[in-house]
Amino acid sequence: MNVILASTSSLFGGNYLEYLTDELITLFNGIDEIIFIPFARPGGISHEAYTEKARDFFSSINISVKGLHEFADPTEAVNQAKGYFTGGGNTFLLVKTLHELGLMGVLSENIKQGKAYLGCSAGSNIGGINMKTTNDMPIVYPSSFDCMGLVPFNLNPHYLDPNPELKHNGETRETRINEFLTQNTIKVVGLREGNWIRVVGDKITTEGSEMSRIFEPGKSPYELQPGASLL
């Protein structure tokens, strides 16, 4: 496989995808066109507007972008594509739409056969086993929480450390993931902003500027340095 699952599309104050430019040139090496999957629709913007945002960035590295919503037969479009990018937004909306269109398995198969895939945030969640560790609000009801399983664990993008100064009783991110582990036996990778998971062949590593926080059933959470293996 040849996959990047990034915590976020943009660093604070940075431009869209800019911090990943070098990585994306490598990921999509030899590919002049990719399909963008705009279904997560951040803030409810149109598929067209979201695709345009992706197109703007990828034109800077000489890759053209087609939105998956533009195709009459999206299954055929996925099967014909050379590479994919799924943008962030709401994971429930993304997963619901992919299941409704019957695309979750089709996309997964193509990527497992070696086609390049970039996911950001919600687009990274769907690379995990299921979406049960998303931070997003359940604004729609998907027919299933199952995802592509490109990696043998779940992700928590935008992972945020507890703020000891916050006088608020909402659960911290760590508490939420520990609750997940009371009901599931799946490993979770807390991906801080600035980090991504890289899959090359059968190697899976955590990359980027931050440590990644790993949660496993029956263990205390622990940290992995950039470059560390996730298998």
Binding site for its own copies (CB under 8 A): 8-13, 41-44, 89-90, 92-93, 131-141, 144-145, 158, 160, 167-171, 175-184, 193
User: Is residue 56 among the annotated active site residues?
Assistant: no
- Sign of the Cα torsion 178, 183, 187, 190 reads negative
- Given a contact cutoff of 8 angstroms between Cβ atoms, the answer to whether 120 and 8 are in contact is yes
Q: CB of 148: closest distance to its own copies in angstroms?
A: 17
* CB of 13 or CB of 201, closer to its own copies: 13
User: Is residue 99 among the annotated active site residues?
Assistant: no
Q: CB of 49: closest distance to its own copies in angstroms?
A: 13
Catalytic residue among 9, 10, 108, 136: 136
In angstroms, the CA 36 to CA 55 distance is: 9
In angstroms, the CA 65 to CA 52 distance is: 8
* Count of residues making up the chain: 231
Q: CB of 150: closest distance to its own copies in angstroms?
A: 19
* CB of 66 or CB of 99, closer to its own copies: 99
Q: CB of 17: closest distance to its own copies in angstroms?
A: 12
* CB of 2 or CB of 195, closer to its own copies: 195
User: Is residue 136 among the annotated active site residues?
Assistant: yes
Active-site positions read 121, 136, 158
